Amino acid sequence: MAVIRDVIAAFELFQPATVDDAVRLLDQHGADALVLAGGLDSMDWLKDRLKRPRYVVDLSQIKELRGVRDVVGGLEIGAMTPLTEVVRHPLVKDRFGLLMQAAELVASPQIRNQGTIGGNVSQDTRCWYYRGGWNCYRAGGNTCYADTPTAINREHAIFDADRCVAVSPSDTAPALVALDAQMIIRNSRGERVVPAEEYFVGPGIDITRMNTLRPGDLLTAIRIPATWAGAQFYFEKVRDRQVWDFPLVNIASAIKPDGGNIGSMRLVVGAVSCVPRRLKDVETAVAGKPRNEETAKMAGEMAIQGAQPLRYNGYKLPLMRNLVKRAIRGSEGGSWTS
């Protein structure tokens, strides 16, 4: 087990004023560079000396990475936009209340003032074995310490374990996947657009990272198309404490009604897998059905099929099942907006 320290190892700090300068620095220093957004996740790694970058590229001076912009009925949100601004912005509230609800439940007001939306979706997993310096699979070792007979694993995955059972800790990630968002990524070779659903990386693809960003890449913005603007939204987060805490399970849904029935739906659950888990089979099954208890019960049972709970996280099955039922009905504990 690692010894936790509180003295940050020395590094060279850069504070570029433009995206071009930031991309140039990241290209120059590659894997030796750490991108610093709000710093809330990065500073933990630095203080514990578990990450020792030679260079830190601080994005706080790049004004073009901040702000919410209208894009043909949709939105483009700069990656450095504070979560508080996402919550309060009228365009987010009017068109995509789902994202507003999710962002408002991140941590505490003080953290939302500093934390950015790009940082929230790009943060590393909170598995305490990994973050405590244990030499697990994700850290380059050959053991998942959270998946052993004596492990404490109540916050870990019930789906898609592949050597690692860590989960995505983001609250905004399920909402962005449900809204069919796109992640805009820049590097020295140009710009690429990655669907939010493909931005997050599971251990079967690459066990050493949580998203598609590689050395030299910079997440610059998040685009939300007009596709789900004005839909009926539902978001709920269950956590140990009502402030600060990461989700035990969270859920995001968007429904376009067809009369009294569900026309089309996006349904995404977080903190049950290494990536936000989109329930495509459930979405298909509920299309054309009424939003009643029968439909909700069917959806809830479908949602947990294939789950493989660990010793201490079996409670996530009934929790996830009931959250799916609530999202279908739009009631009990969450926020339902249109």
Q: Is it the case that residue 334 has pLDDT exceeding 80?
A: no
pLDDT value for 330: 86
Q: Is there a shared CATH topology between the 63-122+167-227 domain and the 232-337 domain? A: no
Q: Where are the domains of the chain?
A: 63-122+167-227, 232-337
pLDDT value for 190: 98
Fold of 63-122+167-227: 3.30.465
DSSP E strand boundaries for 74-148: 74-78
Query: Range with the lowest mean pLDDT among 207-211, 317-321, 331-335?
Result: 331-335
Distance CA 120, CA 295 (A): 33
- DSSP letter string over 301-337? HHHTTT----SS-TTHHHHHHHHHHHHHHT-SSSEEE
Residue 249 pairs in a beta bridge with 238
What pTM was estimated for this model as a whole?
Answer: 0.95
Distance CA 229, CA 125 (A): 30
213-265 confidence digits (pLDDT tens): 999 999 999 999 999 999 999 999 999 998 889 999 999 999 999 998 999 99
Mean pLDDT over 287-313 rounds to 97
Distance CA 227, CA 317 (A): 31
Domain 232-337 in CATH 3.40.30.20? The answer is no
